[in-house]
Amino acid sequence: MEKRNYRYETLQVRAGQEIDPVSKGTAVPIYQSTAYTFDDIQYGADLFRLTRPGNIYTRITNTTNEVFEKRMAALENGVAAVATASGQSAVFLSITNICGPGDNIVTSPFLYGGTFTMFAITLKDMGIEVRFADSDHADDLEKLVDGRTKAIFLENLGNPAFNVPDYEPIVEMAHRKGICVLVDNTFGIAGYLFRPIDWGADVAIHSATKWICGHGTALGGVVVDGGHFDWTPEKYPLLAAPSPSYHGVIYREVFGNAAFAGRVRVDGLRNIGAAPSPFNSFLMLQGLETVSLRAERCCANALAVAEFLERHHSVESVNYAGLPGSPYHKLACKYLKNGFGGVLTFRVKGGFDAAAALVGKLELILHVGSVGDAKSLIVHPASTTHSQLSPEEQAAAGVYPNLLRLSVGIENVDDLIYDLETALK
């Protein structure tokens, strides 16, 4: 499949899979095995020395997981991918893949609450500093870069600000300084709306739990390696200097242009253990087969709902990049394709009490702290997903007491608008 330039919709159902010559089944099998047999002593030794490809233990590789990884690499236009147990573990493994004590990364302030806590507390406790810029502009990010900076970290359609970074100047600045760019592209919907690697970013990260799975049934994450960054031993010794994990092996030499993904797998997954279940990867593959169809519907529904809310007298403001009045609309038109995303936020007139009353009156839209399902979901970020932030940190991230986040599903849009209209009364 990879030898021909197939389009997205074909890749989402076929990439990475070779029909089993024995069973000839059309679906990807679930290889629910923890370990794999070695042909002989030398075969096992070669696997453990990384001189031969093959399965050792499902914590590192698994055949079902491998098909999902190859499919995601194809959809994001990367050279390799690694599946993880969750989106949170995908972010963690990406940062620790290049950073050690004393290193730092620079990030925009527009982050998912769980990522913010990991950056502000967990990584700090490990000796890795995360520097939060005042905005997602290249100039503000550059101010915080120094000799120990290893990455610029961004969220595409940041949660819940739904900002769209201007990638061209950010990538130019980062690469000029010899540092890589990591993008959480969860809201880019498996690369269907946005491919950061096509715009020069070096790694794309996803919470596969969201639109990739798409049905609220499984946790998962994935890290996609763009394959074009020069990992120098001076700047990135974890990738380009001898590793004590494998008796001095150099990942850049073993894995070539897929060195980032290679180390996430053989060092991160092996030593941290945040590996996905093969059954979950099977569910991710099932979700990918219809991801473009669901993305089209949820983006169209989200735009219609945003336009309805923008006109409603009980709504103070609506934040959706598809609206011409959005400060990110021009950038969204530049970088996003096939739609403006399936999630929006809006502020209700009347403060927290009005927002809480609205949520309580909804019947069709579910009150859930997640996004990306086929069903529509709503949540109050200030009291849930971003509750660990201080009021000042919440405001910097675009979170307010009267703000609600709405993940729009694939239901009939008239039914969704009726549910919102009735509750707003």
**What is the pLDDT at residue 1?**
47
* Residue 111: other Cβ atoms inside 10 A: 29
Tokens of 12: 């989402």
pLDDT at residue 2 greater than cutoff 70: no
Nearest to residue 239, comparing CAs of 128, 102, 96?
96
Phi and psi angles of residue 138, each rounded to the nearest 5 degrees, phi first: -55, -40
pLDDT in tens, 272-323: 999 999 999 999 999 999 999 999 999 999 999 999 999 999 999 999 999 9
Mean pLDDT along residues 80-91: 98
The Cα-based distances of 161 to 61, 133, 243, 319 in angstroms read 36, 15, 40, 7
Boundaries of every domain in the chain: 16-287, 291-424
For residue 3, is pLDDT > 80? no
Nearest of 299, 397, 335, 386 to residue 185 by alpha carbon: 335
Predicted confidence (pLDDT) at residue 208 exceeds the cutoff of 70: yes
pLDDT of residue 212: 98
CB 409 within 8 A of CB 375: yes
Tell me if 183 sits within 8 A of 204, measured CB to CB.
yes
- The residue whose two tokens read 């498996």 is 190
Q: Give the Cα separation of 279 and 65 in Å (integer).
A: 9
Tokens representing 23 are: 């069973």
Which CATH class name applies to 16-287?
alpha beta
SS (H, E, C) 380-422: CHHHCCCCCCCHHHHHHHCCCCCEEEEECCCCCHHHHHHHHHH
**Rounded CA gap, 397 and 388, in Å?**
12
Instruction: Give the mean model confidence (pLDDT) for residues 37-47.
Output: 95
Residues contacting 130, CB < 8 A, separation 6+: 104, 105, 106, 107, 119, 120, 123, 124, 153
Comparing 16-287 with 291-424, is the CATH topology the same?
no
Q: Report, as an integer, the average pLDDT of 246-270.
A: 96
Q: What is the CATH number of domain 291-424?
A: 3.90.1150.10
Model pLDDT for residues 352-400, shown as the tens digit of each residue: 999 999 999 999 999 999 999 999 999 998 888 777 778 878 777 788 8
Distance CA 420, CA 348 (A): 12
- List the structure tokens of 306: 């945003």
Rg (the chain; Cα; Å) = 22
How far, in Å, CA of 47 to CA of 422, rounded?
A: 61
Closest CA to 197 of 154, 256, 136: 154
Q: Write down the residue that tokens 């093959």 correspond to.
A: 54
- In this prediction, residue 55 carries a pLDDT of 95
Predicted TM-score (pTM) of the model is 0.95
pLDDT in tens, 319-335: 999 999 999 999 999 99
The span from the CA of 425 to the CA of 421, in Å, is 6
Q: In this predicted structure, what is the pLDDT of residue 389? A: 77
Classify the phi-psi angles of 306: left when phi > 0, otherwise alpha if psi is within -120 to 50, otherwise beta: alpha
* Sign of the alpha-carbon torsion through 304, 305, 310, 314: positive
Backbone torsions φ then ψ of 365, nearest 5 degrees: -80, 125
